Structures are given as C-alpha cells and as structure tokens.
Chain A
Amino acid sequence: MRIHHVKLENYRSYRDAEIKFSTSPVKNFTIIQGSNGAGKSNILNAVTWCLYGEERHLRTEDKNRQLPIINEQVYHTLMPGEQATVKVEIALGDSEIKHVISRQAKAFCQPGGEVTIREDTDPQVMFLAQGNWHQSSNPIMAIKFLLPSDISHFFFFDAEQLDEFFKEGSAKRVKKGVVDVSQISLLHQTISHLEVLHGNVRRATQGISPQTDRINRELGEVEEKLRGCKEALSTLDQNQRGIQDNLDEIQQRFRASTIEEVRRFEESRERLDGQIRDYESQLDGLREQAVACLRETGPLVYAFEAIKTTKKLIQEQVALGKLPLKIRSLFFEDLLAQGRCVCGQELAKGSDASIQIQSHLEKATQSDYLSEAETGKYVVNHILRGTSELVEKQRNLGKEIHALEGTIEETKRQLRELSEKIEKYGEINLEEIKVLEQQHVQYQEEQRKNNQEIGRKQVEEKFLGKELSRLNGELERAVKKDQKQKDLGRRLGLCTEALQALNEIRSEMLSEVRSKIQQKTEEYFLDLIWKKATYKRVSIDDNFQINVLNVRDMPSLGTLSAGERQVLALAFMAALSSISGFDAPVIIDTPTGRISGVPRENIAESLPGYLADTQVTLLMTDTEFTEPVQVRLNERIGQEYSLNFFEDDANTEVVQR
C-alpha cells in the first residue's frame, strides 16, 4: 500500500499544501527536508490526526504553548461570526488510488471574539469499487483494516523517540508490537472465539450418556487445573522479570562504581555468569541426547541376553550342518505344482517320484523355522553390533555430561569466591557494597528457585495439555457411539482439531517470529553500527526483552549512547517491517538526528536495502540530508521536497525539488 498524496488545509503551519509521495516500486523513497521548526513533524502529525484523531508527535513547545490545530494566521484573523475549516486528506492505494481519507475541524469565531474549535469525531473514508466512489458507513473499521492504529507506531515514527522501546517495561511493548504486526493477535482472537464455540458444542454433549457426563466432568477439572497452571506461570514469569531488573540494577551500580577493583570483580562475575549460561545450555542438549539414546538402547539392553541366546542357537544349527538350508520347501512346492522334476521326469500324482518329493517337502517344512533363522542370523548380528555401539555412545554421553557438570560446579565455585571477595571488600571499605552483594546473592537464589518452579509448571502444563487432547478424543468417540448424536460428535471433532492446529500454529509463529526478528535486528544493527569491534549480538529472549551483548557477552543495552540506541531502534523497525507480511508505508521523522558523519552515511547506504519493497518517507533536517547522504539515497529517491517556513504569515511552503 502507498500514500499517493497528503493535502493540508489550514492545518498548523500549512495554509494550503499538497505533497505527492513517490509510488514507484524502485524509487520508493520520498525525502522532505526542512530545518528545525519548518514543519516536518507536522506532516507526521497530520497523517496520524487524519487516520486516528491523534497528533502523536507534537513538539514540546507546541504542547506547552497549546497552539491550536488551525493555522495560527487564520486563527488570529478570524472575525466574529466567521468560520474556517482545517482539513487533512490522505489518498491511499497501490498503483492507483483506492481510498481517500479525510478529517476536518471547524474553527468558529464567537461574537465575543473567542475562537472555538470543534474536531469531527470520525474521519470520512471514500473507497473505489467497480469504478465508482462510495462513502464507507464505518470509517473507523475501514481504517482499522487499512492501517491499524495499534501497529501504526511501527510505521509512522519519530526516530528520536524510539528510545522508549528499550526502557524499563519495554518487553511488554515489544511483544505487543511483534504480536500485532505479525498478526499473531489475529490467531489469539480466532482461538479465543473458537474456544467459546468448542465450549458450546461440548455443553451440548452433556446428558447423552453417563460416559459423556463423566468425560465432561474430567475435562472441566483438567481445564481448571490448566488455567491455574498458566496463571501460576504468568506470575512466575513476572516475578522473574522483576528479579532480573533488580539484578541488572545492582550490576549497573557495580559497573558504575568509582572503585576499580569492584568494577573488575563485577566484570569477572558477568563473564562467569555468561559461561555458566552457555554450559547449562550445552548440558541441556547433552541430556536430551542421552534420553533419546536411552530410549533406543533400553529395549535392546533388556532383550540383550535373549538375542545372544538366539545367536547361539543359530550357531549350533550351523555347526550341525542344518544351516544354511540346502533346499527350501518352496522349491519342492514348485516342483509338485509344475508336475515335473528338474531332471525332466514327470511327477504324476501318486507316483513314486512325487511321493519322494512330498517326503522331502515335509522334512523341509518342519524346519521352516530354520529358514527364518537363516535370514535372522544377519539381523541378530546387526542388532548385537548396534546395541554395543549404542551402549558405547550412552557411556560417552554420560562421561561428557559428568565432565560438564564438573566444569559448571567449578565455575559456580569461582563465582562464590568472587561474591565473597566483593562482600569482604564491602566489610573493609563500603557498607553499601556489602549490602548490594548480599542482595545480589539473595536475588540469584530467588531466581534459581523460580526457574525450578517454572520448569515444574511447564512440565505440568504439557501433561495437562496432553490429558485435555486425550479426553477430547474420548468424548468425541463416546458421542459418536450414539447414532443419533453422530453429527454432534463430528462438530466436536472438527472444533477440537481446528483448535489444536491453531494452537500449534500460534506457538510456532511466536517462536519463529521472535527468532526472525532477533536475527534481522542483529544483522541490521551490526551492519549499521560504527563500533564494529565492540558489539557482538542482539538478543530477544522468550519474554521479548531486547538486549545488546558486547564481545565479552556482557549486556550493554543500558550503556548504549543515544545514537547507538537510535540505530538499534531503526534496525528493530526495519526487521519488523520485513517479517510483518504487512505492506504499510513507512514515515520516519528525523531518522538520523543523533547520528553523525560516516555512521549516518552508512545508514543512508544500507536502509534502502532493508526496506526495498516499502514506500519510505524520510523527514530530514538539512544537517541530516548532507551531500554524501544524498548521493547514497539518490537512486531510490522518487520525490523530493524542501520546506520553507515564513514567520510573517505562519505558513510553510512546500517546494518540489
């Protein structure tokens, strides 16, 4: 989707202006350049006001002075009884305009000279259908499906205000953004509605039979337990985040300490913490391998003696000359069926030759188990070899696990020593350090207990989920037993299957989308950042907490400069845009305001690649839109404007370049 034009009438510094945006797929950039105060942010405000009734990017001075939405000159020249209209119009579409959205406000000068302004509650939306223009009866819904307000912050933003994303409590905002932009919220809503339908269908199965009643009761109990389990997990996650925030704060204070030794201790501690996290992750992997190996090995080890005995019996038959079989029963059967021997003699029924062949056949049939043993001996050898290899593998895994557990224990011992040093340092020098260290130890202990409880609850959740599936299946079968209720059983089955599939899709989406956004954000951030030797990774954990790790694996989000945070914000937004599957135009106010020289040029070089299929509008100051930046963006610029503000008549002139 593209913005074709924005028309402004008496809106703030714009008396009468029209800006045509580039809709070319190749030259997808529109540059609007102006010095501070020329009216750049008013363009972004005009767009959000028109669409959502909100001016999200008012400058502090405008807010403080409480300037009216109507152009100042018009406001002051209105005579009693006169009125003026403020209007913003946006045209949207792909190659052609398909929607025109407009919003108005009326300013009326009262007889006493006071000017009152009344904004329209809703915008007007016109849409093109079958060659004709129609007015939408539900403009709010119309806009919701074109450019939803809840995700618009990710497409229309002031780059300097993106800091908010990475401040305290940002994980919730980040998750909401990701969930809304990737439409996981659509899955949430669908599942929630389908659960209601499923509940209704299930209620209709009550009273069919004692069996269905029993199953329904059990289902109710399991659902109650599952609800409790999920609530408990949510509380535990919240507690865990709170504990982590406290730990981060203490770490920050140690890192910011004026005492060199304390800073060194803290750096060592964070390095050891990072190592333990890595080791524990490796340990999880090894344990999973060991369990999988045990599942394979277990039955074989259990049957090992029986398999060895089978091999011994086969070898005995070989020693007795009974294996390999000289002639198989099939051969004799074929001869009798054909009625002729290999020597050519006819085998008429009842003839001596035929009776002799029949006698050989009987002997061969008695020993048919030997023909199984003949092929079996290869299988048995293969199993025995395989079992030995698996047992060896299990043994090696056990050794690796034991060694790694030892390493983890040793690292934890070093951590404890470090903690004692910090505490002792505090005893000698600063009470505050001692207290902080004791708090640190206490929070870590709480975190460990929390993690264990989370692990237990997750296992319980999984088990209850499986129970639920089993009981739903049982209910469906029980309902279908009753011929009269077959249709009800099928409805139940369809609902249950659909719910299960949707839940799986949602779970996969959450994991994949988070992972893809992390990957893209890291790729773009490391590409754009100028301190390439300092930063190593961007992580977005399961709770959508973003962090930047330096080359020593230490969390560095809190120590990023304003410019670096702006780069992280741009990288994150570009990543969101790339995975959203949602073709929305992007408008960025002051994209590189806090970034200087070469890094800014770097961004100008790379940003077009990240947003290749997107219409991008950059509102830039003259200090941002330097010649080197122009050169790098040149090939992608489809429209270019400069804004000149004339103080005398409080008007911004839009000049096409």
Chain B
Amino acid sequence: MRDRQINQMILDKLEAKDIPMHVKGFIGEILQHENGGIDQERPQYTRTYDNLLNKFMLQQDEARINHGETE
C-alpha cells in the first residue's frame, strides 16, 4: 500500500528520455522500489536491483527476438 506517488515531473522526464525501453523500464521500477510500499520490510536493495537487472535484460532479449521475427 503506498500513497505518495512519485513526482510526475520525474516520470515525465524519464518518459521523454531518448533511451531504450528496457532501460526506461528498469529505471521506472527501481524508482518505484525506492519509493517503496509500507507492507514490505526495508528491502536489501542490491539483491532487488540484481533481480530487476535480470528482468530487464530478459525484456531486452524478448524485444530483440520479436523485432527479429517481425523482420
């Protein structure tokens, strides 16, 4: 449960950045993670960041495969 949203200015700037989608997704999730939720223990951020890195590398692979299939 979280009530304090991330400042929209930060999210708008992230959206406007000319960087690959998987990098945006990674940044978006680590920001959400840092903003946190009250029903979690204070996270071990390095472990969580590692997991998010793996998640978005996988996303990058999937995007490459889909792009290859389209071509």
Q: Do A and B bind each other?
A: yes
A residues with CB within 8 A of B: 1, 98-99, 127, 129, 136-138, 141-142, 144-146, 148, 182-183, 186-187, 189-190, 193-194, 196-197, 200, 487, 490-491, 494-495, 497-498, 501-502, 504-505, 508-509, 512-513, 579-582
| Bound-state Cα–Cα, A137 to B9, Å | 32
Contact of A142 with B23 in the complex, beta carbons under 8 Å: no
Least CB separation from B17: chain A residue: A501
Other 13 A-B pairs with CB < 8 A, given A182-B7, A501-B27, A505-B14: A127-B1, A136-B38, A136-B39, A141-B42, A145-B3, A190-B30, A193-B46, A197-B53, A494-B60, A502-B27, A504-B17, A581-B7, A581-B8
Least CB separation from B19: chain A residue: A501
Query: Residue A509 contacts which of B5, B9, B20 (CB distance < 8 angstroms)?
Result: B9
Asked if B67 is an interface residue, CB under 8 A from chain A, the answer is no
Closest Cβ–Cβ distance, residue B3 to chain A (whole Å): 5
| Bound-state Cα–Cα, A497 to B53, Å | 12
Given known contacts A142-B38, A498-B27, A491 and B53 CB-to-CB distance under 8 angstroms: yes
Closest Cβ–Cβ distance, residue B66 to chain A (whole Å): 17
Contact of A497 with B23 in the complex, beta carbons under 8 Å: yes
Contact of B23 with A494 in the complex, beta carbons under 8 Å: yes
Query: Residue A494 contacts which of B10, B45, B57 (CB distance < 8 angstroms)?
Result: B57
Query: Residue B17 contacts which of A137, A491, A505, A579 (CB distance < 8 angstroms)?
Result: A505
For B1, list chain A residues within 8 Å (CB). 127, 129, 142
Contact of B23 with A498 in the complex, beta carbons under 8 Å: yes
For A509, list chain B residues within 8 Å (CB). 9-10, 13
For A182, list chain B residues within 8 Å (CB). 7, 9
Give 14 pairs: A residue, B residue, CB < 8 Å, sorted on A: A99-B3, A127-B1, A129-B1, A138-B38, A145-B36, A183-B6, A186-B10, A186-B31, A190-B31, A491-B53, A495-B53, A498-B23, A501-B23, A505-B17
Contact of A582 with B7 in the complex, beta carbons under 8 Å: yes
Least CB separation from A98: chain B residue: B3
Contact of B17 with A513 in the complex, beta carbons under 8 Å: no
Contact-residue size bin, chain B (C-beta under 8 Å from the other chain): 35 or more
B residues 1-59 near A (Cβ < 8 Å) are: 1-10, 13-14, 17, 19-20, 22-23, 26-27, 30-31, 34-39, 41-42, 45-46, 49-50, 53, 56-57
Contact of B49 with A194 in the complex, beta carbons under 8 Å: yes
Contact of B13 with A505 in the complex, beta carbons under 8 Å: yes
User: In the complex, which of the residues B8, B53, B60 has the most CB atoms of chain A within 10 Å of its own CB atom?
Assistant: B53
Query: Residue A581 contacts which of B9, B45, B57 (CB distance < 8 angstroms)?
Result: B9
For A99, list chain B residues within 8 Å (CB). 3
For B27, list chain A residues within 8 Å (CB). 498, 501-502
Nearest 3 A/B pairs, CB to CB:
A581-B7, A142-B38, A183-B7
Contact of B39 with A137 in the complex, beta carbons under 8 Å: yes
Contact of A494 with B22 in the complex, beta carbons under 8 Å: yes
Contact of B49 with A197 in the complex, beta carbons under 8 Å: yes
| Bound-state Cα–Cα, A182 to B13, Å | 13
Query: Residue B3 contacts which of A146, A190, A196, A200 (CB distance < 8 angstroms)?
Result: A146
| Bound-state Cα–Cα, A581 to B36, Å | 17
| Bound-state Cα–Cα, A148 to B39, Å | 16
Least CB separation from A504: chain B residue: B17
Closest Cβ–Cβ distance, residue B16 to chain A (whole Å): 9
Contact of A491 with B57 in the complex, beta carbons under 8 Å: yes
Query: Residue B56 contacts which of A190, A487, A494 (CB distance < 8 angstroms)?
Result: A494
Contact of A193 with B10 in the complex, beta carbons under 8 Å: no
Least CB separation from A99: chain B residue: B3
| Bound-state Cα–Cα, A487 to B49, Å | 16
Closest Cβ–Cβ distance, residue A151 to chain B (whole Å): 10
For A127, list chain B residues within 8 Å (CB). 1, 38
For A142, list chain B residues within 8 Å (CB). 1, 38
For A148, list chain B residues within 8 Å (CB). 4
| Bound-state Cα–Cα, A309 to B57, Å | 56
Contact of B46 with A200 in the complex, beta carbons under 8 Å: yes
Query: Residue A487 contacts which of B6, B10, B26, B57 (CB distance < 8 angstroms)?
Result: B57
Closest Cβ–Cβ distance, residue B42 to chain A (whole Å): 8
For B50, list chain A residues within 8 Å (CB). 197
For B53, list chain A residues within 8 Å (CB). 197, 491, 494-495
Query: Residue A490 contacts which of B2, B34, B38, B60 (CB distance < 8 angstroms)?
Result: B60
For B19, list chain A residues within 8 Å (CB). 497, 501
| Bound-state Cα–Cα, A532 to B30, Å | 48
Contact of A193 with B49 in the complex, beta carbons under 8 Å: yes
For B35, list chain A residues within 8 Å (CB). 145, 186
Least CB separation from B2: chain A residue: A145
| Bound-state Cα–Cα, A271 to B53, Å | 56
| Bound-state Cα–Cα, A129 to B41, Å | 18
Closest Cβ–Cβ distance, residue A150 to chain B (whole Å): 12
| Bound-state Cα–Cα, A495 to B50, Å | 10
Given known contacts A136-B38, A145-B36, A501-B23, A581 and B5 CB-to-CB distance under 8 angstroms: yes
| Bound-state Cα–Cα, A490 to B64, Å | 13
| Bound-state Cα–Cα, A528 to B58, Å | 56
Closest Cβ–Cβ distance, residue A271 to chain B (whole Å): 38
Closest Cβ–Cβ distance, residue B47 to chain A (whole Å): 10
| Bound-state Cα–Cα, A145 to B5, Å | 9
Least CB separation from B34: chain A residue: A190
For A189, list chain B residues within 8 Å (CB). 34
For B41, list chain A residues within 8 Å (CB). 138
